[in-house]
Chain A
Amino acid sequence: MKRLFPITPALLCLLGGLSIAVVEAAAPADPPAKTEAAPAASAAQVNTFNRLMTPKSDRNQPPPLDGIHDPEGPGTKTLQAPRDAFSALPKSSGGNYVNWVQALKDKAINPRYDRLNPKEEPMIMELDIVREVKGFMPDVVYPHDRHTQWLDCSNCHPDIFVPQKGANTISMAQILMGQKCGVCHGKVAFPVSECRLCHSKKKDQALLKK
């Protein structure tokens, strides 16, 4: 009996492995050919070191292949594929892989500011807020103009940010947890992987050396 004891965890693993194999075999292959499409390693791709990163070919998938739409749904195939809509828009390296602010600036898109009136112009506030950052990263510049193009003051003030200098403590931890800037950035606006879009003001080098 004593000899049997150390093998029980291994047996559990074996059974577990078998059960997963059975469950996966039994599960319907929902988005067909999606997992099969993983690019095979070739000499040209030796530098794609992170196999978990979404390859470019897998970005902005059409609804039937995106893993959340039901390919059998009668409406799914009538929906526009993001790739078709984005082809004419300026690119970025995160989120939808579209530079939305640039798209607005270039007039590549002209989203309504009012539900009914297509001619209504946004009320743009020109005020940059510089937030000094404790660590080595460049300071954050918050541009009101790029935000007021899209949003109303009441979307952020006073619930998310108190409109008063020094009244808001913000940390990357909070942002990653979906608070403060993270209410939008990381969910719908460009994600936190684009560090330098916010951390954009170089610190005084002389001060750094002290």
Chain B
Amino acid sequence: MRKIRRLLENKTGWWFLSVLAVGWVAGLFHAQPAGAEYADVVLNRLSEANGVRPVIYPHWFHRIRFRCKVCHSELGFKMKAGGNDINMLELMDGKFCGSCHNNNIAWGLENCHRCHSGLKGLETGIRGGHKAGGPGVW
């Protein structure tokens, strides 16, 4: 403590501490890892609370195979991340994801880990929207 006080008695000490402070603020905004693919959706309303990894839904993979309207009109998915109140029971009944993920059109629901593959602590929402990792939008 006394050392720090001594540091502040000269200009260099002040400089040292200001640089440290600036570094600290910059650290708060430091670049995050590359980030999700554009339009990946994280679903974690129920997953983690029930002991499984959050779901990551890749829009890109699905739009190569289906047009938007198949899910957003036929299957009833609202066009808002987190706006669809769905659970595994409904999927098993053949609704929502379960209308294709039934070992008929696509692989079945027993492949838990293909969807439940997210890092713990992720929040529900759509990802990958920005071109940059910093505080700015682009």
Contacts and interface: CB of A to CB of B under 8 A. Distances in A.
Interface of A: 4, 7, 10-11, 13-14, 16-17, 20, 24, 30-31, 34-35, 38, 50-54, 58-61, 63, 65-70, 73-76, 78-80, 82, 85-86, 94-98, 100, 109, 111-116, 122, 149-152, 154-155, 183-184, 186-188, 191, 193
A150 B61 CA distance: 15
Contact of B31 (A14, A35, A69, A116): A35
Contacts of B64: 85, 109, 111
Nearest to A116: B105
B113 A152 contact: no
B88 interface: no
Given A115-B105, A187-B126, A193-B138, A98 B70 contact: no
Interface in B112-138: 112-120, 122, 126-127, 129, 131-134, 136, 138
A17 B23 contact: yes
A100 B63 CA distance: 9
Contacts of B36: 66-68
Interface SS majority for chain A: loop
Given A30-B119, A67-B35, A52 B42 contact: no
Given A63-B117, A66-B34, A111 B24 contact: no
Contacts of A154: 73
Contact of A95 (B38, B56, B105, B114): B38
A30 B119 CA distance: 9
A97 B77 CA distance: 25
B50 interface: no
A148 to B, nearest CB: 9
Contacts of B66: 111-112, 115
A96 B20 contact: no
